[in-house]
Structure 1
Amino acid sequence: MTSAITLDLPVPGISCGACAGRVTRALTDLPGTADINVNPITKRAHLRLDGATLPQVQEALTQAGYPAELITTRLAIEGMSCASCSGRITRVLSARPDVAEAQVNLATHRAQVTHAPNLTPEALARIVTDLGYPAQVQQPDQPAAPPPDEAPALRRAFLTALALTVPVFVAEMGGHLFPAFHHWLHGLVPTQVLWLAQLALTLAVLMGPGRRFFTTGIPALMRGAPEMNSLVALGAGAAFLFSTVVTLAPQLVPVASRHVYFEAAAVIVTLILMGRWLEARAKGQAGEAIRQLIALVPEHATVLRDGKPEQVAVADLRPGDLVRLAPGERVALDGVITEGSGPVDESMLTGEPIPAAKTPGDPVTGGTVNGSSALTFRVTATGADTVLSRIVALVEQAQATRLPVQALVDRITRVFVPVVMGLALLAFALWLSFGPGLAEAVVAAVAVLIIACPCAMGLAVPVSIMVGSGRGAQLGVLFRRGDALQKLAEARIVSFDKTGTLTQGHPRVTAIWTDGIGRDDALRLTAAAEARSEHPLAAAIMSEAEGLDLPEALDVTATPGRGLTATVEGQALLIGNRAALEGAGVVPAAALMNEADRAAAEGATPVHLAVEGRHVATFALADPERAEAAPTVAALHQLGLETAMLSGDLPATARAVGARLGIDRIEGGLTPEDKLTTIRSMGKGSVFVGDGINDAPALAAAETGIAIGTGTDIAIESADAVLMSGDPQGVVRAIRLSRAVMRNIRQNLFWAFAYNTALIPVAMGVLVPFGGPQLSPMLGAGAMALSSVFVVGNALRLRRAG
């Protein structure tokens, strides 16, 4: 590694010379930096690292308020087979001063590296390739996809090894099961000939299907970074070499130790190949969620060219194209309806079981399914810009995230393989010193090498994240960051924004009371005046008056916080709250005010109408609660969580809504700053649920922020998790899923650690002095293979979670 590295960092926050000066001071105060030059025109910081690292530089710039703009590169990596592989790649990349963060995922065979612009993506790929793991750069606009399916190749390798191993196993072990078979075989074929045949067949296993262990494991061992393949290569190779010496040069081995273990070497490779094949099949199922999402895009669509329908490949569609959609056909890309109306099934993206009604002007999302009507839509997004592509990218990003719990696993797997090799040498020495002979010492060492399984430990966390985040996508829950899975499982209190989250976000007229005027007349006059207003309550009154013939309003004047005045049909109108009436000298009608007070106590907003100075009507406007809001709160209480509502609405309105929903803690009249203070005071385990746009600061302040919205309006940047639909019950699904994922991870880690802790000593022979058996390397290989399959199989149960 170079002792000094030059960085040229974009710092977009620099807008003047003073900014550049603050950036210069922040970098100068950081030890290990030199030759600092900050240019306010190009908005770049040039410096040399001589001891400092990029993470330290970024931290200093962030604290100064001017974070650098770093590059994130995704790599597809081949050849990783265990936690030691992914751990070594992570350590090498993270050790570079120009890399801010490196995340390598064993389950997805992907790496995500955040680094300085000086370090090109191609250079990163070369670094990983030089370690022995071929890597390729994934372009930013390249659709995410699961790693290639290794199961078919592993199946062929396993079956080939099995065919070659069966004769060796039968020849050597058949006699132990059936002594008559042993006498018959050795009477038919001389022992030396049998051993030579076993040597040839075992060599074919090791040089053919088992070659992968040696070509990967031995170079890794020579580089001083042994991994799982190294253990298999050493174990199977030791058994084979010892047996070969006994067969070809028996004089070199004591008479009492002249036994062959060809069957152990062959069976070890065969069983481990079987385990990897089963593991690859299971991991393929773990990535099924992404494959299903990608498969939602049809291959062809009917586009209108010069008014005539024409079948084209979806890849050839461009924004602005008109696409005809037949009943039951899948929507090809994102767009806007231009012709026709009818239901569209969006359940595969949002989790909503009820189809959404679509009319001209409404958006449609690629991957959804048209109902019974013929529709035409204009394409608005293609490729990586579509909602579906963004969802797939989010799922893959979450799957590549390292949870905090992974740190413990990394520390252990970093030393695991060297420790196992040391224990194997110790077992060999002890058996050689105190055991019957050389053969038993070799068996003990080989058993220790083979039974150890860093794979199970390495897969315990990432495979659960992989399946869990994929399941979340199927439920309409997108984890923008994988660590949200762990944080949500530790949630203690869930806070909601009110408008648009627990309520529908669209006020409507819920009641009209009149005194001396007809209901329709009151509504007609009020709507005529409100037609010139942009207030949200005006839209509710206009919606209620739909179908009525509205006269023209003159001299419309709005007074912020009060209401408006206008002249309609020659009459002077005043529309507003009680303060507006009293301020204009209008005497409020007692009966109408009683109704208004009652409506306000229930969370509605009263709006009064005065005609020619007389109070004649009162409207109650309210933002109705979502039908799912109360069940959501009840379900959170069943999970043992406290609930809160933080609203900018009037305290009385907030209390009324919160009381109807059964919320524990209700606070109204809050400014955005008040919300931030309140959320920060909640401390660890705080969750905030909002619309993700107006509530971005609060979402960022909470330990876990959940943005709630629709599939075509996702506030990705401000939240840790995003709900594709507007259903707040997605919060419950997200918490249940996160708890299931963390429970699954704990089960996997317990198995992985307990397996190695219990069986490595058994393989060393700790039970032999107490009359127990010496573990066969073949049994060790079988147990090791099944341990990884167990971990992946256990994670697959998450496909039914939520």
Structure 2
Amino acid sequence: MSARAAGTPARQAAEPQAELVTTDLAIGGMTCGACVARVEKKLARLEGVSAGVNLATGRARVVHPGSLDAAELVAAVEAAGYTAELPDDAEAGPALHEDLLPAWQLAVVAALAVPVIVLAMVPGLQFRGWQWVSVALAVPVVTWGSAEFHRRAWRGLRHATGTMDSLVSLGILASAGWSAYALLFGGAGELGMEMPFSLTAQAGEGAHVYLEAAVGVPLFVLCGRWLEGRVRDRTGSALRALAELGAKDVCVLDDGAERRIPIDRLLPGQLFVVRPGEKVATDGVVVEGGSALDLSLLTGESMPVEVGPGDRVTGATLNVGGRLLVRATEVGRDTQLARITALVVDAQTGKARSQRLADTVAGVFVPCALAIAVCVLGFWLGAGAEPAAAVTAAVAVLVVACPCALGLATPTALLAATGRGAELGVLVRGPEVLESLRRIDTVVLDKTGTLTNGRMELLEAVAAPGADLDAVFRRAGALEDHSEHPVGRAVTAAARRRCGDDLPAVHGFAAEPGTGVSGEVEGVTVRVVRPTAAGPLPGPLAAALVKAETDGRTAVVVELDGTAAALLVVGDSLRAGSYRTVHRLRGIGLTPVLATGDGPGAARAVAEHLGIAEVHSGASPERKAELVAELRAAGRSVAVVGDGVNDAVALAAADLGVALGSGTDAAIGAAGLTLVRGEIETVVDAVLLARRTLATVRANLGWAFGYNLVLIPLAAVGLLNPMLAGLAMSVSSVLVVGNSLRLRTWRPGPARSARPGAGG
């Protein structure tokens, strides 16, 4: 089980202050929020140490001085009465709950306990000597079946602390002890004795034993924990699935010979082969071959993506086409898959404010419950009630007060949400990000590379009267194929799409810096130049040029034998879904703001097309950060969405930074949320997921607090049988975890509308 540092297996990473490192520990033996508070308190007693413990994942994230050895952290946790281990590198995801009873042992406990409960609840089935048969069945349950409760309660007592197990153990021992007294000294052991069943603490007439509570409480608690373990384990399946995505071995190419090696022996710069049906072993660049890659397992992208020489590929994606030869660029912890896994680990190890509050409450709840139980016992005895009724009421308080649901209310919801977010291509850096998303009311959007594709494309072609546009494209594309200029590449790409790959030959190619290119194609002198270097333009071309300049686009003129034949308008096109994103942001009550370094014309054209009212053009990186500060000073909660180095300052300054997965490392590092697929529309899904998560947390906490507020008074006044108290406590925990698990099936709603042609 495990130590992770900064979300990476078995690693300790230095914090910015240099002397602090972060280590993750796997904690065993925790059952409630009181356990969490105990471990955190014990670790915090070490000099310079701060710790956050997550009950749902069984992980403790400890920030400590580098001079403090991990063994000292483990010793501190063990001194608190729990186990702590450093995890294996291969382990991923939340710790499994190995300390729970196996299913077969739970079945044995149920087989022994159910007959005892039935005999106590149905007086008509009580045969002569039934109570002694119940004793024979109950003893293994109270001892062997409940041994874990007693062991942990004793361990807590030795450390002068109380946990949920303390309450359960006391309840079991009190019920069994009173039953033994009644059987031996109270007349309940007489053959032929019949006992009425009561849902309350009142014993009614005649002798009464509480063996049904002594076996029912451990049965229901163990069932509840077993179900919790299975459900909580499912919430961590996304992280384990990420860990299992990577290839286990790789076929490398050395001196023309192929050989297969384990993936951990692959080095950066090595060539490896990816055949159809195989996973790409690691991040790299295609050297030879062409194929389509299925990215759905990693990013959720449903359509295969075509790749060829020079294209980057990501490890764990599936090759569904031809053979690829790839040069490895990143391996091990530097790959995108490893970074994604690390981000999810960070998110699932962190704690939200609501969780910290619940853990604090749970930490003081157990001592309070013990005090209430003692007061209830004293009150009923002092009021002249039968000792059996007084003991039963106190036991019911002990059992029903277990704060298990309170400790699980927040972490299970956050665990499920971060796992679901990873499946949807939304990587959350920590639980606090989900809380920030819930409060966001303004979204500042970068333009280039965020709302737009970030590369030059042909947006419009206007032919002069009488000109053949196909011929213009064929000749201009052939000429620009010899140019490395971004405008030239955009013209060539458009020509190939329109006329095919067989472009005519070019003779006498010449490039004029700052002007354009020229050459002879198919016996015609062709020039592709700036409008200022061209001759007079016909009316349609002149009008198109004015519009292009107004919109901040780049225009070039194609001349055939000295005559202007067409005007080609080149610019950065909108991403598919940009309009839907802005529309959906407004639909959920958020205000979009455009901030770009481009000029007013280009900024205004994009803003008008998308329907963004507030526009800030010509914004430097510093100006973007100032804009964020101004918006926050005006009382707005701001998220910034960007992809470039120039966005990093604003991303860090905002209440929440959102980076596109296709963006730069600087942007991703400054952001709290990363959209793996690079699709900006996913930010809307992230906001909706955060809102659903926080609603689930509130519902869980409401149930956990409400359950205790209602049932503890009922138990105290004698209106709740201990067996039913145990059932209610277990059902409460399972309901909280089950409610959180619903987030695993959450799906973002469909886009409300899409403007035709707005995808750009």
Same fold (TM over 0.5): yes
- The answer to whether residue 213 in structure 2 is matched with residue 261 in structure 1 is no
Match of 2:226 in 1: 277
- Residue of structure 2 equivalent to 1:214: 150
> In the alignment, which residue of structure 2 is the partner of 1:655?
604
User: Residues 555, 711 of structure 1: CA spacing in aligned structure 2 closer, same or farther, 3 A cutoff?
Assistant: closer
Question: Aligned partners of 2:507, 2:715: CA distance in 1, in Å?
Answer: 93
Is this contact kept in 1: 2:299–2:677, CA < 8 A?
yes
* Paired residues of 2:348 and 2:431 also in contact (CA < 8 A): yes
Q: Does 1:698 align with 2:643?
A: no
Shift of residue 95, structure 1, vs aligned partner: 4.2
SS, match of residue 645 in structure 2 = coil
1:388 corresponds to which residue?
337
Task: Determine if the alignment matches structure 1 residue 148 to structure 2 residue 96.
Answer: yes
Say if 1:365 and 1:712, in contact at 8 Å, map to a contact too.
no
Q: CA deviation at 1:427?
A: 1.0
Distance across 1 between alignment mates of 2:562 and 2:319: 54
Match status 1:106 vs 2:42: no
Q: Which residue of 2 aligns with 1:689?
A: 641
Q: 1:709, 1:159 → 2: CA distance?
A: 48
Identity %: 38
CA shift in 2, pair 1:471/1:513, >3 Å: same
**Matches for 1:247-326 after TM superposition, within 5 Å:** 247-248=183-184, 250=186, 259-304=208-253, 307=256, 313-315=262-264, 317-326=266-275
Residues 513-556 of structure 1 show CA distances to partners (whole Å, capped at 9, x for unaligned) of: 5779997789978997996776x445434645774645566685
Which residue of the other structure, out of 444, 453, 476, is the alignment partner of 1:495?
Answer: 444
Structure 1 unaligned segments of length 5 or more: list them. Answer: 1-57, 59-65, 558-562, 769-773
Matches within 5 A, 1:537-686: 537=487, 539-541=489-491, 543=493, 547=503, 549-550=505-506, 556-557=512-513, 563-564=514-515, 576=530, 592-607=541-556, 618-683=567-632, 684-686=636-638
Q: Distance in 2 between matches of 1:107 and 1:167?
A: 34
Q: 1:405 aligns with which of 327, 349, 354?
A: 354
- The 1:612/1:649 distance shift into structure 2, 3 A limit, reads farther
Structure 1 CA distance for aligned equivalents of residues 166 and 47 of structure 2? 30
Q: Deviations over 1:229-271 (max 9, x none)?
A: 1111111111122222333455999999963222211111111
Secondary structure of the corresponding residue to residue 507 of structure 1: strand
In structure 2, how many angstroms separate the alpha carbons of the residues matched to 1:171 and 1:521?
95
Give the corresponding residue for 1:759: 711
Residues 1:69 and 1:483: Cα distance change in structure 2 (over 3 Å): same
Aligned pair partner of 1:245 in 178, 181, 191: 181
Counterparts of 2:526 and 2:274, CA distance in 1: 52
Shift of 1:661: 1.2
Whichever residue aligns with residue 695 of structure 2, its letter is: R
Query: Secondary structure at the residue paired with 2:699?
Result: helix
**Structure 2 counterparts to residues 744-755 of structure 1, below 5 A:** 744-755=696-707
In structure 2, what is the equivalent of residue 231 of structure 1? 167
8 Å Cα contact 2:33/2:360 also seen in 1? no
How far apart are 1:592 and its partner, in Å? 4.1
Equivalent residue runs for 1:358-507 within 5 Å: 358-507=307-456
How far 1:84 moved relative to its partner?
Answer: 0.8
2:500 matched to which residue of 1? none
| Residues 181-220 of structure 1 mapped to structure 2, 5 A cutoff | 181-182=125-126, 185-186=127-128, 189=129, 194-195=131-132, 197-220=133-156
Quote how far apart the aligned CAs of 1:294 are.
2.4
What is the deviation of 1:504? 0.9
Name the aligned partner's letter for residue 781 of structure 1: G
Alignment equivalent of 1:796, drawn from 717, 741, 744: 741
- Tell me if the contact between 1:522 and 1:617 (Cα under 8 Å) persists in the aligned partners: no
Partner-residue secondary structure (3-state), 1:484: helix
Q: Residues 643 and 664 of structure 2 are in contact (CA less than 8 Å); yes or no, is this contact kept in structure 1?
A: no
Instruction: Mark the CA change 1:477 to 1:151 in structure 2 (over 3 Å): closer, same or farther.
Output: farther
Q: Secondary structure at the match of 1:113?
A: strand
Question: Equivalent residue of 1:695, what SS?
Answer: helix
Q: 1:607 to 1:572 in 2, by over 3 A?
A: closer
1:247 corresponds to which letter in structure 2? L
User: 1:12-27 maps to which residues of 2 (within 5 A)?
Assistant: none
Query: What's the RMSD between the two structures over aligned residues?
Result: 3.6
Assess, with a 3 A threshold, how the Cα gap between structure 1 residues 595 and 671 changes in structure 2: closer, same or farther: same
Residue 405 of structure 1 aligns to a residue in which SS? helix
Tell me how far 1:456 sits from its aligned partner. 0.7
Matched residue type, 2:160 = G
Distance 1:298 1:565, change over 3 A: closer
Q: 1:742 maps to which residue?
A: 694
Secondary structure of the 2:646 match is coil
For residue 410 of structure 2, what is the amino acid of its counterpart? V
Q: If the length of structure 1 is used for normalisation, what is the TM-score?
A: 0.80
Contact 1:529 / 1:568 at 8 angstroms: preserved in 2? Answer: no
The separation in 2 between residues aligned to 1:107 and 1:137, in whole angstroms, is 18
| Superposed displacement of residue 201, structure 1 | 3.5
CA distance in 2, matches of 1:531, 1:97: 67
Paired with 2:709 and 2:589, the residues of 1 have a C-alpha distance of 35
- 1:612, 1:143 → 2: CA distance? 70
Match of 2:657, SS state, is strand
Matched residue, 2:753? none
Q: Given that residues 506 and 519 in structure 2 are in contact (C-alpha distance below 8 angstroms), is that contact kept between their aligned partners in structure 1?
A: no
- The AA in structure 2 aligned to 1:90 is E
Query: 2:192 aligns to what?
Result: none
Change (3 A) 1:339 1:153: farther
Aligned position for 1:161: 109
Residue 617 of structure 1: CA displacement? 6.8
The answer to whether the 8 A contact 2:509-2:517 is kept is: yes
Matched-pair contact (CA < 8 Å) for 1:762–1:775: yes
> Which amino acid letter does the alignment assign opposite residue 732 of structure 1?
V
Query: Separation in 2 of the partners of 1:255 and 1:248?
Result: 19
Question: Structure 2 regions of 5+ residues with no counterpart?
Answer: 1-14, 190-202, 497-502, 749-760
Q: Deviations over 1:59-97 (max 9, x none)?
A: xxxxxxx84452111111111111111122122323444
Match of 1:77 among 27, 49, 65: 27
Cα 1:724/1:217, change in 2 over 3 Å: same
Instruction: Return the offset for 1:377.
Output: 3.1
Query: For residues 187-218 of structure 1, what are the alpha-carbon distances to aligned partners after superposition, in whole Å with 9 as ceiling and x for unaligned?
Result: xx3x7xx44x5444333223212111111122
1:642–1:664: 8 Å Cα contact kept in structure 2?
no
Q: Report the alpha carbon displacement of residue 665 of structure 1 after superposing the two structures with TM.
A: 1.8
What one-letter code is carried by the residue in structure 1 that aligns with 2:596?
A: S
Q: 3-state SS of the aligned residue for 2:740?
A: helix
Q: Whose RCO is larger (CA < 8 A, sep 6+)? A: 2
Alignment check: 8 A CA contact 2:274 2:280 kept: yes
Provide closer, same or farther for how the CA distance between residues 573 and 370 of structure 1 changes in structure 2, counting only shifts above 3 A.
closer
